[in-house]
Amino acid sequence: MDVVEFRPTPDQYAWTFGGVAPSHRIRPGTVLRLWTEDAFSGRLQRTTDMPSQVLDMTQVNPQTGPFHVEGAQPGDTLAIHIVDLTPARDWAASTTIPFFGALTHPYTLHEPLPERTWIYQLDRAAGTVRFESAALTLDLPLEPMLGTVGVAPPGREVRSSLVPDTFGGNMDTPEMKPGTTCYLGVNVEGALFSVGDGHYRQGEGESCGTAVEGAMDVTLIVELIKGGAPAWPRLEHDDHYAVVGSARPLEDAWRASQVGMVAWLGDLYGLDRLDAYQLLTQVALSPLANVCDTNYSALTKISKHLLPAADAHGGMHAHLRSLAKGLI
């Protein structure tokens, strides 16, 4: 099994999906041990650091990669299994940014919400991050996830690392956690995938637009499935199947995820569209990922315990999970 380690220097970050030369060429089955910078490029370190003063908004969500996967061609499926996510620092940052977030909007008469920065301290022994305010101090469970996992869009298209869409990208879903396999349709030769935007935890919806943003040590296994590219990103872990749809308005993001799950139920069980649609109506959960990014992201999620055992994507999740056990 090939193992590649990569800790990018600041000049090696990618800021887009597409339009960037690969940092590495890897073979299917490769284990990647990576370091990812936080969404703010490490520039928010104190509660006195304000986004308008220290952030360059063209340099947020730095990506580690992209990686060229040998043999990947348009129409194939890339399987990225998250083996481990370990905070790379003992602190993380969150903030409010004027006119950014789910509960503020530029097309109104009200003034922008004030900027404020929170620094969360990590307690590794307890597995918590600490929220602190004048009125309340609270230790919250550490739940690491990746905000961005994506491949290059079709053709010569270039998209910001702030954007989620059919290629994955800045989906900001708490389901992108250790033990999850993410399936993405390949759009260009080599797939050119990258990851970043580590969160030490995040609530569904990411209401104010920023999670507990922190640098992350990341271990992944990357595999290639010939053909079968899904229209929308698919996630699988031991307990659930999920599809991520991204669009605006929010109901279109939800519809995209629902249509994606109808297609996946058809692939899993040979159901025609109306039977899959009917089953979906009775068993689907609909958690939100983000309602603040350029596109919103919504999930359709189904418990595996409600369904017969199925061989999703050739049993790739079970295969990758087995390999992952030897790496932790």
Average of per-residue pLDDT across 217-231: 98
User: What's the pLDDT at 85?
Assistant: 98
Average of per-residue pLDDT across 273-298: 97
User: What's the pLDDT at 286?
Assistant: 98
pLDDT digits (tens, 9 = 90+) for 104-137: 877 777 788 899 999 999 999 999 999 999 999 9
- Distance, CA of 82 to CA of 99 (rounded, Å): 33
Q: What is the mean pLDDT of the chain?
A: 96
User: What's the pLDDT at 111?
Assistant: 82
Question: What one-character DSSP code corresponds to residue 277?
Answer: H
User: What's the pLDDT at 109?
Assistant: 75
Torsion angle (degrees, nearest 10) of CA 231, 83, 236, 254: -60
Residue 228's pLDDT band (boundaries 50, 70, 90)?
Answer: very high
Q: Which domain holds residue 31?
A: 3-325
Cα 105 to Cα 110, 112, 116, 179, 252: the distances in Å are 9, 8, 17, 36, 19
User: What's the pLDDT at 100?
Assistant: 86
Residue 101's pLDDT band (boundaries 50, 70, 90)?
Answer: confident
Q: Percentage of residues in the chain with pLDDT exceeding 90?
A: 91
Report the phi/psi class of residue 231: left, alpha or beta, with left for phi > 0 and alpha for psi in -120 to 50.
Answer: alpha
pLDDT digits (tens, 9 = 90+) for 49-93: 999 999 988 889 999 999 999 999 999 999 999 999 999 999 999
Q: What pTM was estimated for this model as a whole?
A: 0.97
Question: What one-character DSSP code corresponds to residue 170?
Answer: S
Selected residue with higher pLDDT from 211 and 107: 211
Average of per-residue pLDDT across 166-175: 98
* Residue 185 phi, psi (nearest 5): -70, 135
User: What's the pLDDT at 210?
Assistant: 96
Burial class (CB in 10 A: 0-12, 13-18, 19+), 308: exposed
Specify the CATH number for the domain of residue 197: 2.60.120.580
User: What's the pLDDT at 206?
Assistant: 96
Average of per-residue pLDDT across 182-188: 98
- Six-digit token pair at 270? 């040979």
181-185 and 159-160 beta bridge pairing = unpaired
Lowest mean pLDDT among 107-116, 149-158, 269-278: 107-116
User: What's the pLDDT at 318?
Assistant: 94
Average of per-residue pLDDT across 167-194: 98
Domain count, the chain: 1
